[in-house]
Amino acid sequence: MGSSMLPVPIFRSIRTSYFPLIKSLQTSLLLITGLAGYLSSRQAHIHPNSLLALAGSLFLAISGSTILNMWYDRDIDSLMKRTCHRPLPIQAISPAQALALGVVFSIAGITWALALSPLYAIVVSTGLLCDVIVYTLWLKRRTPWSIIFGGISGGIPVLAGRCLATGKVDGIGLLLLLAVLFWIPTHILTFSMKYIEDYQTANIPTIITKYGYPTTRLLIAISSILAALSMGLAVYLVGSSSGALSVLVVLGTALLILALTSVFRPSERLNFGLFKYASIYMLGAMLILAIH
């Protein structure tokens, strides 16, 4: 009787102490982009097993890099109200445990990727190293423009998915990467405005502290528009139907109106609304790529 109850606290411990380490929402969105990149190839040999292998290897690599980022940033996370309740700041797990888990996940993801395709493994490894080494360890605490490299690493899954399907890095794959790269600042810059005191407390340089609110809002608007244009061109080049393109044009027009309004009639509510709508646009565009 007692032994049958053992899995319950173990499951609860995993859910509360380990599961938050992978940022499930962020990881899920990146997985969707990877699957969309793969399906955008329209390859006749697409098989469910290939999709599962892609999802599994990407999940491990993305989760590994995220855990390593949390391990390194545990000191600043403890200073910020938005992040101080994460597992490492509250000491739900030890730094050694997090480091070990991040390394194991990362190695497993890259090894699995290598078994699928050398080129795919190179792309996945590039994204992981760019995220952990270049963005987090090197630039995040030094320059607000670190978000560019954060955006590149965020765009790697969609490029990796397309590379696995086509066996090459092509123009469409790079356009998809650019779409995510331009979307990332919409996310990061909006959060840096909303939680500006947190970033100042942790001494993290941001665009807003260096260049001010008007410039930050302008960059958010420009990046949103560029993300929509890159995605729209990619969807057109893969040969999507006129109906799918029409839907994307309507969604993109609404994004353009929101972006321009946020510049000329700024408000915190509108800025956050633009961020959420840009996320919905990106998700919708990825789904169009995946299911069309």
| Res 130: pLDDT | 97
Query: Could you tell me how many helices (H) and strands (E) the chain has, helices first?
Result: 13, 0
- The share of the chain scoring above pLDDT 70, in percent, equals 93
pLDDT at position 45 over 70: no
Q: What's the CATH superfamily of 13-291?
A: UbiA prenyltransferase (1.10.357.140)
Kindly report, residue by residue over 109-142, the tens digit of the pLDDT. 999 999 999 999 999 999 999 999 999 999 999 9
pLDDT class of 5 with cuts at 50, 70, 90? very low
Furthest-apart CA atoms within the chain: distance in Å: 66
Rounded distance, CA 271 to CA 194, Å?
9
Pick the closest to residue 169 from 37, 29, 20, 286 (CA basis).
Answer: 37
| Average pLDDT of the residues in 235-239 | 88
Instruction: Look up the pTM and report it.
Output: 0.91
**Rounded distance between C-alpha atoms, residue 24 and residue 275, angstroms:** 19
> How far does CA 106 lie from the centroid of its chain?
16
Residue 4 above 50 pLDDT?
no
pLDDT value of residue 69: 97
Band (pLDDT 50/70/90 cuts) for residue 172 is: very high
* Amino acid identity for residue 37 in this structure: G
Say how far apart CA 120 and CA 113 lie, in whole Å.
6
What pLDDT shows up at residue 3?
A: 47
For tokens 């792309």, name the residue.
123
Which whole number is the average pLDDT over 148-169?
95
Q: In this model, does residue 108 exceed pLDDT 90?
A: yes
Mean pLDDT of 77-101: 94
Interval 185-234: pLDDT, tens = 888 888 888 899 999 999 999 999 999 999 998 998 899 889 989 998 99
Please list the helix, strand and coil fractions of the chain in percent, rounded to the nearest 5, in that order.
80, 0, 20
Amino acid occupying residue 90:
I
The residue written with tokens 């393109």 in the block is: 245
So where are the chain's domains?
13-291
Q: Could you tell me the pLDDT band of residue 13, with boundaries at 50, 70 and 90?
A: low
Average pLDDT over residues 160-174: 95
The span from the CA of 245 to the CA of 51, in Å, is 25
Cα dihedral sign for 108, 95, 138, 142?
positive
Quick: pLDDT tens for 263-283. Answer: 888 888 888 888 788 888 888
Cβ(186)–Cβ(230) under 8 Å?
Answer: no
- Per-residue pLDDT tens for 47-77? 788 899 999 999 999 999 999 999 999 999 9
Backbone angles phi, psi at 82, to 5 degrees: -70, -25
- Among 210, 154, 157, 209, smallest CA distance to 183 is for 154
Residue 39 structure tokens: 């399906």
SS3 assignment, position 1:
coil
In angstroms, the CA 57 to CA 41 distance is 19
Q: Map tokens 């100042």 to a residue.
A: 200
Q: Find out whether 225 and 256 touch, Cβ atoms under 8 Å.
A: yes
Predicted confidence at residue 98, as pLDDT, reads 95
| Terminal CA-CA length for the chain | 51
Please give the pLDDT value at position 288.
Answer: 85
